[in-house]
Amino acid sequence: MRYGKAHLEERLRRVLAEEIQALEDPRLFLLAVEEARLSPDGALLSVYVEAFGDERGALEALARAEGRLVAAIKRRVRLKRLPRLEFLPWRAEPS
């Protein structure tokens, strides 16, 4: 099944939000996954998150959990190529 890019980005955002919520890291307690943007070649997924606590700690925790999150994407979303994850702080207008 083929998805439009916007649909795929939203699906990836939801999967990541659910998997991050399942992580038992206190630095990720108050964290929201706001947006996910896939690069044109599909090699990089930029994930914009909003941390209501320690933003730096949350970004470090997400970077450490990247392997587990990519494995979750592999299990739950059909993709030809798994993207590398890049976690960025959410701003009102991400660039």
Percent of the chain topping pLDDT 70: 93
- pLDDT tens-digit series, residues 16-53: 999 999 998 999 988 999 999 999 999 999 999 999 88
Measured in whole angstroms, how far is the alpha carbon of residue 63 from the centre of its chain?
10
At a CB cut-off of 8 Å and minimum separation 6, what does 77 contact? 8, 11, 12, 15
Q: How confident is the model at residue 58 (pLDDT cuts 50, 70, 90)?
A: very high
Phi-psi region of 42 (alpha: psi -120 to 50; beta: other; left: phi over 0): left
Q: Which residues on neighbouring strands pair with residue 32, listed in sequence order?
A: 50
pTM of the model: 0.87
